[in-house]
Amino acid sequence: MINKKVEDILNAQINKEFYSAYLYLAMSAFFDEIGLYGFANWTKVQAREEVDHGMILFDYIIERDGTIDLQQINSPDRSFENPLQVFEKILDHEKYVTESINCVAYMSDDECDLATRHFINWYISEQVEEEANALDIIKKLKMFGEDKASLYQLDKDLGTRTYQQHSYKSE
């Protein structure tokens, strides 16, 4: 049986992961509208990964004999202007999610829930990767400036990203 405070913070995290999926889908639609189909692909694949993040939490709560509490998902930000601004928003959002995951870790420690403390390590590592990915693309976009040929090449590169289902137990 899972501790109530830990259960609550995990349920709140499910909501944040599904919000992340909404946010990336909104970004994907924006990129599609402006004809950057590789960027649209990259953000759509990321949206699917975010759903996996939510589902892994969902399965974990059930495995611990907890209660699922699905909360309302807010509409995502849609004030997008250009690729650099979108990826700066992504980095800010992922930093926020990292803080949120850290709070789950702190809560697990406070409540002496070592199973959740162990479980959440996977998310801590995942957040390092998510922030690094966003930062990498920001650096490239800043380096290219107004160079359309480089943007075109990056769009092609981001178009090669493929979805692979994330699964906590298999990793």
Q: Which residues bind ligand OFO (CB under 6 A)?
A: 17, 20, 50, 53, 94, 97, 130
Rounded CA gap, 104 and 38, in Å? Answer: 34
Nearer residue to ligand OFO within complex by CB, 22 or 144: 22
Shortest reach from residue 168's CB to ligand OFO, in Å:
12
Shortest reach from residue 1's CB to ligand OFO, in Å:
26
Rounded CA gap, 143 and 121, in Å? Answer: 34
Number of residue whose CB is nearest ligand OFO = 20
Q: What are phi and psi of 35, to 5 degrees?
A: 85, 15
Shortest reach from residue 132's CB to ligand OFO, in Å:
12
Provide the b/e sequence for 95-121 (b: ≥16 CB within 10 Å): eebbebbeebbebbeebebeebbebbe
* 92 Cβ contact partners less than 8 Å away, ≥ 6 residues apart: none
Nearer residue to ligand OFO within complex by CB, 93 or 140: 93
Shortest reach from residue 79's CB to ligand OFO, in Å:
18
Nearer residue to ligand OFO within complex by CB, 50 or 113: 50
Rounded CA gap, 153 and 150, in Å? Answer: 5
Shortest reach from residue 129's CB to ligand OFO, in Å:
9
Nearer residue to ligand OFO within complex by CB, 94 or 151: 94
Nearer residue to ligand OFO within complex by CB, 20 or 108: 20
Pair 45, 31: CB distance under 8 Å: no
